[in-house]
Amino acid sequence: MPKIKVPRSSPSLDMTPMVDLAFLLVTFFMLTATMRTPEPVTVDTPSSIDAKEVPKNTMLITIDTLGRVFYNIENPTVRRIALENMAKRFEVKFTEEQLVKFSNMQSFGVSVKELPAYIDGDASKRKVMDAATKGIPIDTADQDKSELRFWIYNGRLEAKRFSDENPKLQLKPLRIAIKADNKSAYKKIDFVLDEFKRQEIFNFNLITNLEANPNEKKSK
Amino acid sequence: MADVQQNTPQNNRRRPVLQAPRIDMTPMVDLAFLLLTFFVLTAELNKQQAISMAFPAEGPAMQVNGMTVIVGKNPEKIFWYRGEFTPGMHLEVTTPGKDGLRKVLQDANRTVFENLNVINRQYQLGLLSETAYNEKRSQLSSSKAMPFVVVKWADDASYGYIVDVIDELNRTANSKYALVKATDAEMALIR
């Protein structure tokens, strides 16, 4: 039987174009990826068709399924000054280091008294505090104790001041957005909306997911 | 595997042509595709969106052609009535979605909704200039034919259901609405 010559070596393939393409795509996805900001609670937002992109320069109020309120304002400078104002008002001392650390943080849902411990804590400590917290205190009976009220007030005040002092940045006016869970009781959201009305905030956004197919009936 | 393979000297004894050393690129490709897969999968697929809300500065003024939608605990039952509330009145019941609430709202806002569709089409065909289109749009959105819809929520209503109703209002081109807590009398009727 004649021997069939089997080529020993596997055919060499020029992989250069493939590598080029692969790295091009990797670079593209890396650059377009935006870091998901770590949030203290997961919130499953409702979906809607009428939607615009979430505006830049926002003050975000998150309400989770239990009705706890979390607060976030994007601009680090504004965050810091807002905290200084809050510290004065609620007589809590913050060190310089804590103020700097706070300005780079994200959403939080603890009272001003608990904030120093929250800022100093590491990720796992914060997780424990996030799970145990009752959210930013809202006192419907005594307005002067409602911390949410002053967070909203100071956030707006300082954001306005910041954009007035830095006209070169051409910042859009501060938008206020509510991000709440599908299952949150509307009652709780109404507390926040009441606060908006009191502070004469009549325009705001509700954060939703874009609905996939607008022609089909929603499946819940 | 990952070594640099030089050409064997025997083949090139006669013509020592300088060739670039061949590099085995398999590991690099592996890594590249691994990273590629990771970034593709972690890319945010559903970007977050936002609905704009505007509240009337003063309390909602009841209008003659007003309409009230009540959302309670059960998401499958949405109650509504026209005009003013009278104790013990009969409430209409509808379901959420295309064939229920949307139809009701669309019927209530038919004039505006249809006119809006007409000018949308004209604008797309280039029959209307942008300024004329915007003007007509703003005229329609403040039209008297648009019913004022009061969305009332019960104590046990979920946020998601309310957003669904707002979404239906937006779909049917109704921009005049307000969110109000349901009264006890209304609560008694939807139980």
- Counting one residue from chain A and one from chain B, the pairs whose CB atoms sit within 8 A come to 148
Would the CB atoms of A36 and B44 count as touching at under 8 Å? Answer: yes
CA dist., res. B187 & res. B79, Å (int):
11
Q: What letter would DSSP give residue B8?
A: P
Domain total for chain B? 1
Contact A66/B at CB under 8 A = no
Domain total for chain A? 1
Distance from CA of B5 to the nearest CA of A (A): 12
More confident residue, A165 or A140: A165
Residue B76 lies in a domain: yes
CA dist., res. A199 & res. B9, Å (int):
84
Residue of A nearest to B39 (CA): A29
The backbone region for A160, taken as left when phi is positive above 0, alpha when psi lies in -120 to 50, beta otherwise, is alpha
Residue A178 in this model has a pLDDT that exceeds 70:
yes
- Give residue A70's pLDDT: 92
Task: Give me the residues paired with residue A206 across strands.
Answer: A178, B51
Contact A6/B at CB under 8 A = no
Contact A15/B at CB under 8 A = yes
Print pLDDT tens along chain B (191 aa).
455 555 455 554 566 667 777 777 788 888 888 888 888 887 766 567 788 877 765 555 555 568 888 888 888 888 888 887 777 778 888 888 788 888 888 888 888 888 888 888 888 888 888 888 888 888 887 777 788 888 888 888 888 888 888 888 888 888 888 888 888 888 888 77
* DSSP per position, chain A: -PPP---SSPPP---HHHHHHHHHHHHHHHHH--PPPP-SS-----EESS-EEPPSSEEEEEE-TT--EEEEES-HHHHHHHHHHHHHHHT----HHHHHHHHT---B-S-TTTHHHHHHS-HHHHHHHHHH---S---SS-GGG-HHHHHHHHHHHHHHHHHHH-GGG-PPPPEEEEEE-TTSBHHHHHHHHHHHHHTT--EEEEEEEEPS-TTSPP--
Task: Give me the residues paired with residue B94 across strands.
Answer: B78
Residue A5 lies in a domain: no
Interface of A with B in 180-219 (CB under 8 A): 180-187, 189-190, 193, 196-197, 200, 202-210, 214, 217-218
Mean of pLDDT over chain A: 83
CA dist., res. B169 & res. B147, Å (int):
11
Distance from CA of B157 to the nearest CA of A (A): 6
Give the closest of B48, B57, B160 to A183, CB-based.
Answer: B160
Residue A32 in this model has a pLDDT that exceeds 70:
yes
- Give residue A143's pLDDT: 79
Residue A116 in this model has a pLDDT that exceeds 80:
yes
Least Cα distance to A185 among A72, A50, A68 occurs for: A68
Would the CB atoms of B159 and A189 count as touching at under 8 Å? Answer: yes
Residue A220 in this model has a pLDDT that exceeds 50:
no
Cβ-based contacts of B22 with chain A (< 8 Å): 12
- Domain hosting B185: range is 67-109+146-190
Residue B3 lies in a domain: no
Residue A15 lies in a domain: no
Residue B38 lies in a domain: no
Residue A40 in this model has a pLDDT that exceeds 60:
yes
User: pTM higher than 0.90 for the full model?
Assistant: no
Residue A76 lies in a domain: yes
- Give residue B14's pLDDT: 61
Tokens of A142: 């005594």
Segment A53-73 shows an average pLDDT of: 87
For residues A37 and A70, is the Cβ–Cβ distance under 8 A? no
Cβ-based contacts of B163 with chain A (< 8 Å): 46, 48, 182, 206, 208
Cβ-based contacts of B54 with chain A (< 8 Å): 202-203
Interface probe with A: pick from B47, B49, B70, B162, most Cβ of A within 10 Å: B49
Residue A130 lies in a domain: yes
Q: Give the count of beta carbons closer than 10 Å to the beta carbon of residue A186.
A: 24
- Size of chain A, expressed as the number of residues it contains: 220
Cβ-based contacts of B49 with chain A (< 8 Å): 48, 51-54, 207-210
- Size of chain B, expressed as the number of residues it contains: 191
Give the closest of A15, A63, A209 to B29, CB-based.
Answer: A15
Q: What is the pLDDT of residues A183-201, one digit of tens each?
A: 888 888 888 888 888 888 8
Give the closest of A36, A180, A196 to B159, CB-based.
Answer: A180
Cβ-based contacts of A220 with chain B (< 8 Å): 75, 160
Residue A131 lies in a domain: yes
- Domain hosting A144: range is 47-210
Tokens of B106: 């669309």
- Give residue A69's pLDDT: 92
Distance from CA of A48 to the nearest CA of B (A): 6
Residue B47 lies in a domain: no
Residue of B nearest to A66 (CA): B158
